[in-house]
């Protein structure tokens, strides 16, 4: 951020009065421009003993595999966002079962909200965002070609939980490279 | 948003190629400025059979009661944000127990992530953001002076669940005034 989105003047980095964190503050009108994490809503679509993964057609990590997930939009709920992304990326309709994981990704300032979803029909397809979409049994999961650490972590939790038959909510942090607090 | 934060030129509202939603797009450099929901992290701090509420000292809803909650910052996890807000607003330390509610607030494009927290000591205090902080038993909750619908909804769920002794995750939408889909 170099310019104020309100008045077009230059911004500077400063800690506003009463705050503790440096923000972008307009040199002209004084508007404070806060930056906050973005929400990524996603879905693990299930069909029988398979889950549906998408091969990414867009950067980053073109050619690698992910479950459907993308930035939550304004004017939608988390559940609606997860269903929308599943349709857009995998061309399949899901009925959500439960929120399965809430992962904070510190390195990119994203929070993933991942639902378990039941596919309504075993139909799906490629899209502008996915060059290939297919159902995987556990032994077929392309562990070495997953797009992001959060995808690997979620699938690891999922197959662990499937052995127990319990799918509790997972809340955690991924990619915490900060020095430990004394 | 009137000006591009990257180059300072004026923006216009347009649907980018391959997109379906109008965005602010720079007339000069073409940067697309996405707008997404913000995360509010909060905590229901418990001490014995009481919960801790704060009387708001800042707009909006000055003088009304809330549990500690505020915008999640970059470079922190959801849990760290909830603990930080509880300290900043109520001057008390909590040990988080579980994620209790994920509420999408459509009218303000916020997603509340609310944890249950156990107060480590029964000490707390007012702050720049809270003119008064106190412990409430259920019959003392100021239902008519709560700051926002999400506060009322969370406390309603909480006291319902306390009767059963089970505190499942609540996922839902608050303030959905959209016309029903046919």
The length of chain B is 182
* Chain A residues in contact with B1 (beta carbon < 8 A): 5-6
Does domain B1-35 correspond to CATH entry 2.20.70.10?
Answer: yes
CATH 3.90.79.10 intervals, chain B: 38-174
Task: Report pLDDT digits (tens) over A82-121.
Answer: 999 999 999 999 999 999 999 999 999 999 999 999 999 9
CATH 2.20.70.10 intervals, chain B: 1-35
Task: Report pLDDT digits (tens) over A148-178.
Answer: 999 999 999 999 999 999 999 999 999 888 8
Helix (H, G, I), strand (E, B) or coil at B154: helix
CB contact under 8 A, A5 and B6: no
The verdict on pTM exceeding 0.80 is yes
Mutate which of B39, B84, B172 to disrupt the A interface (most A C-beta within 10 Å)? Answer: B39
Mean pLDDT, residues B56-74: 97
Indicate the helix (H) or strand (E) that contains B43: strand B38-47
The conformational region for residue B62 under phi > 0 = left, psi -120 to 50 = alpha, else beta, is beta
CATH T-level topology, domain A38-174: Nucleoside Triphosphate Pyrophosphohydrolase (3.90.79)
Within 13 Å, how many C-alpha atoms sit on residue A7's CB side?
A: 12
Using CA atoms, how far residue B84 sits from A107, B23, B72, B158, in Å, is 19, 33, 9, 22
So what's the ipTM on this one? 0.95
Cα–Cα dist B122/B13, whole Å: 52
Cα–Cα dist B181/B60, whole Å: 32
User: Which residues of chain A from 85 to 144 reach within 8 Å of chain B, CB to CB?
Assistant: 98-99, 102, 104, 106, 109, 111, 113, 128
Helix (H, G, I), strand (E, B) or coil at A121: coil
Mean pLDDT score of chain A, rounded to an integer? 96
Cα–Cα dist A70/A58, whole Å: 12
Cα–Cα dist A136/A142, whole Å: 9
Euclidean distance between the first and the last CA atom of chain B, given in angstroms as a whole number: 34
């Amino acid at each position: 951020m170099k310019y104020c989105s309100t008045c077009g003047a230059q911004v500077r980095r400063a800690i506003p009065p009463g705050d503790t964190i440096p923000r972008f503050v307009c040199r002209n009108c004084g508007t404070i421009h806060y930056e906050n994490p973005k929400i990524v809503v996603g879905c693990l679509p299930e069909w029988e003993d398979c889950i549906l993964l998408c091969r990414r057609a867009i950067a980053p990590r073109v050619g690698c595999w992910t479950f459907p997930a993308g930035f939550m939009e304004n004017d939608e709920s988390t559940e609606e966002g997860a269903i929308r992304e599943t349709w857009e990326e995998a061309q399949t309709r899901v009925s959500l079962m439960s929120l399965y994981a809430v992962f904070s990704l510190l390195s990119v300032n994203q929070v993933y909200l991942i639902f378990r979803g039941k596919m309504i029909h075993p139909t799906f397809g490629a899209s502008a965002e996915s060059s290939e979409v297919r159902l995987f049994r556990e032994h077929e999961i392309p562990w070495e070609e997953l797009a992001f650490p959060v995808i690997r972590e979620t699938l690891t939790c999922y197959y662990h939980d499937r052995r127990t038959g319990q799918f509790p909510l997972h809340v955690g942090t991924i990619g915490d490279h900060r020095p430990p607090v004394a």
